[in-house]
Amino acid sequence: AIPLLVDLLKLQDENMCRQVAGALLALSFTRNMRNLIAKADAIQELVRLVASDYGDATIISAAGCLWNLAMNDELERQIVKEKAIEALIHRLDSPNIEIASKAAGALKNLSYQQEHKELVASLGGIPKLIELIKDTSSRALPYAVGALRLLASGSPATRKKIVTSGGIPLLIKLLNFDQTPGETVRLASGTLLHLADRYIRQIIHNGAVPYFIKLYFWDEAPELVSEEASYMLQRAATHPCSIEEGLRFEGLVGRKRQKQGQIDFHRLRGVPGDALIDETNYVKFYSYSSMGSNLFVSTGKIYYEVEIISVIGFPSFGWISPRFEIDINYLHDCGVGYPGRKETPDDSWAIDGVNGRKWPTKSRFGSPWKAGDIVTVAADIYKGSIIFGLNGSFGNPMGIAFENINSSTTEKLSLAPAISGSHGTSVRINFGKQEFIYPPPEADFTSYYEAVKLLLRRK
């Protein structure tokens, strides 16, 4: 019936559109139905309804349906292509708070891809979202803050717009968990976290420190809020440290490792200075960051080990290709295995043992990680397969996580080790210079360290 319903939308009868939009909204709460709605070419019609001068009920249903459809990455791109962001931003200042709420929620789901964040910012969405968080009792509040949280992981120019639009004092006000729902506190805290690298002074001067102290000791804090508060207090205590100083310090560490004959392994994404590795390959994360090597191996079977010392949030261990975007010197939501741009859907592959996922497929995988575990990260470059072991076991639910990854691109497959982690995560990596704790998946695998030595000799 869905194609028939979409055909009725094309009649452009207002009463009929209101009823059909309501029906499509009701159907769009399940994944299969969302795909069928999109397949029936409903997206263009729904965007048209959001931009129309039809009654509020029609616009609410159409925007709500787009909100649900945007939960799918591919549908998110289709919706943006139909110029939905422009139509939804126009609805943010609607006098009907239900319309504004649906528009903010849809924009939140449309702001995961990096290029979409920049589009929302360039089209004037940020000042309107800031306006919506002024009323702490508004139904639109959590959706507007949720959208700002994602936009804050965008480019420096996008984050600057949040600051210049007056976002910092309003976000700090939302940290008061005595008056603000926990989920909204979490989103406001996460937004400020993403602004802290360049705007910590403004955050301090607007009175955030007492709030972060209370959040750190909050017994009922949502996941990661206490950890984020701890990081923000550390950042506040060391706020004279600039991005440039962080980069200089990383350069010193890199040169020292090079003199010691260590594998190149440095921060690829995240705030400079917030992910560090020492001479023993001990890695500590102070905010969500990605670390990796720039020495790519294109032949053979290779592996390395990660010893977990502490782990929290959304860690991911795996491999990157040369297409993995680097030199992102700010807090960035997309780590190893998480594609941040449509141009690079297969730039890295990893697993997350805290949440039991493999990325980028998002499907369930593996056994849960805990302190003391050893994760073996292996790759058969010839077959294009990536294998993971836990404490020496490669049997189900560990084992092969990805197959034929070399079929997704015409480029020759080459890989380098990389990991992502958040504040509270620390590990020790063994590339093979020291003896491994556990054997590889098969006897003919060689250490990444030995593979790099061979690579450098050939060069």
Q: What is the rounded CA–CA span in Å between residue 172 and residue 136?
A: 12
Distance of CA 102 to the CA centre of its chain: 23
- State the residue for tokens 């139905």: 33
| Torsion angle, alpha carbons of 131, 133, 135, 136, to 10 | -170
The whole-number pLDDT of residue 273 equals 87
What pLDDT band is residue 135 in, cutting at 50, 70 and 90? very high
The whole-number pLDDT of residue 340 equals 57
Q: Would you say 252 and 228 are in contact if contact means Cβ atoms under 8 Å apart?
A: no
User: Which of 20, 30, 93 is CA-nearest to residue 54?
Assistant: 20
The whole-number pLDDT of residue 341 equals 55
The whole-number pLDDT of residue 410 equals 64
The whole-number pLDDT of residue 147 equals 98
The whole-number pLDDT of residue 56 equals 97
Percent of the chain with pLDDT over 70: 97
Q: What is the rounded CA–CA span in Å between residue 356 and residue 316?
A: 10
Alpha helical stretches, state H, 260-311: none
| Torsion angle, alpha carbons of 68, 71, 76, 80, to 10 | 40
Q: Comparing 46-50, 221-225, 347-351, which segment has the lowest mean pLDDT?
A: 221-225
Q: What is the rounded CA–CA span in Å between residue 71 and residue 34?
A: 9
Length of the chain: 459
Residue 177: DSSP 8-state: T
Residue 242 has pLDDT above 80, yes or no: no
What pLDDT band is residue 234 in, cutting at 50, 70 and 90? confident
Q: What is the rounded CA–CA span in Å between residue 447 and residue 247?
A: 30
Summarised one tens digit per residue, pLDDT across range 270-310 is 999 899 899 899 999 989 999 999 999 999 999 999 999 99
Percent of the chain with pLDDT over 90: 81
Q: What is the rounded CA–CA span in Å between residue 347 and residue 415?
A: 10
Q: Which two tokens stand for residue 379?
A: 């790759």
**Greater model confidence, 295 or 244:** 295
Arithmetic mean of pLDDT over the chain: 93
Q: What is the rounded CA–CA span in Å between residue 312 and residue 99?
A: 37
Work out the average pLDDT over 64-80. Answer: 94
Angle ∠(94,100,101) on CA atoms, nearest 5: 160
Angle ∠(227,159,248) on CA atoms, nearest 5: 70
Q: Which residues of 267-300 are buried (b: 16+ CB within 10 A; e: fewer)?
A: bbbbbbbbbbbeeebebbbbbbbbbbbebbbeeb
Work out the average pLDDT over 309-334. Answer: 93
Number of H helices, E strands in the chain: 18, 14
Summarised one tens digit per residue, pLDDT across range 6-56 is 999 998 899 999 999 999 999 999 999 999 999 999 999 999 999 999 999
Decide: helix, strand or coil at residue 200: helix
Q: Which residues of 97-131 are buried (b: 16+ CB within 10 A; e: fewer)?
A: ebbbbbbbbbbbbbbbbbebbbbbbeeebbbbbbb
Q: Would you say 391 and 329 are in contact if contact means Cβ atoms under 8 Å apart?
A: no
User: Which of 206, 193, 207, 189 is CA-nearest to residue 159?
Assistant: 193
Q: Comparing 17-31, 106-120, 235-249, 349-363, which segment has the lowest mean pLDDT?
A: 235-249
Residue 431 has pLDDT above 70, yes or no: yes
- State the residue for tokens 């006897």: 443
What pLDDT band is residue 409 in, cutting at 50, 70 and 90? low
- State the residue for tokens 């969500």: 288
Number of other CB atoms surrounding residue 197 within 10 Å: 23
Q: Would you say 299 and 277 are in contact if contact means Cβ atoms under 8 Å apart?
A: no
Summarised one tens digit per residue, pLDDT across range 248-273 is 888 988 888 888 889 999 999 999 98
φ, ψ at 208 (rounded to 5°) = -80, -25
Sequential DSSP letters for 144-162:
HHHHHHHHTTS-HHHHHHH
State the burial class of residue 90 (Cβ atoms within 10 Å of its Cβ: 0-12, 13-18, 19+).
Answer: middle
Q: What is the rounded CA–CA span in Å between residue 156 and residue 303?
A: 36
User: Which of 336, 306, 305, 264 is CA-nearest to residue 445?
Assistant: 305
The whole-number pLDDT of residue 345 equals 60
User: Which of 55, 58, 47, 63 is CA-nearest to residue 17?
Assistant: 58
